[in-house]
Amino acid sequence: MKIFIMVVVAVLVILAIILGAASTRPDSFRIQRTATIKAPPEAIYPFIADFHRWSAWSPWEKMDPAMTRTFGGPDSGVGASYAWRGNKTVGEGRMEITQAAEPTTVGIKLDFLKPFEAHNTTEFTLTPQGDGTTVSWVMSGPSPAVTRS
């Protein structure tokens, strides 16, 4: 019985340490990536603001050739939506354009449903740079406690 109590206390102490460490981590995240493309913003913008054109450039589109896609709202710009359902790699989710300022900005509400649920925002910013455009992609959202340990 004494060993059992010691094991339970040890497990509780380890759990308290993990939860304590997790509570010191930020409750949100922000990821940013940039690339420079040799084209003006006006040539790039339509490929971002129109979900029908994402198959031309998005690496996620090629991860599951059998993925089902559903488009809604206008063809492009604010209100356009895109839902997908695929294999365990691409999962299931939905995106909706919430902000569009041609040819510089596209804001997207991004909802993952499977394999895990998450609700994030994504923003693409296009900035002319010499003979090309710097495209910046930012994704941000909440970090649930379980992901902070």
pLDDT tens track for 62-80:
888 899 999 999 999 999 9
Cα separation values, 32 from 25, 27, 59, 61, 137, Å: 19, 17, 17, 20, 6
Give tens-digit pLDDT for 32-43: 999 999 999 999
Give tens-digit pLDDT for 80-115: 999 999 998 889 999 999 999 999 999 999 999 998
Asked if 54 and 47 touch (Cβ cutoff 8 Å), the reply is yes
Decide if pLDDT at 124 tops 50: yes
Comparing 146 with 24, which gets the higher pLDDT?
24
Contacts of 32 (CB under 8 A, 6+ apart): 136, 137, 138
What is the distance between the alpha carbons of residues 20 and 14, in angstroms, rounded to a whole number? 10
| pTM as predicted | 0.77
Decide if pLDDT at 145 tops 60: no
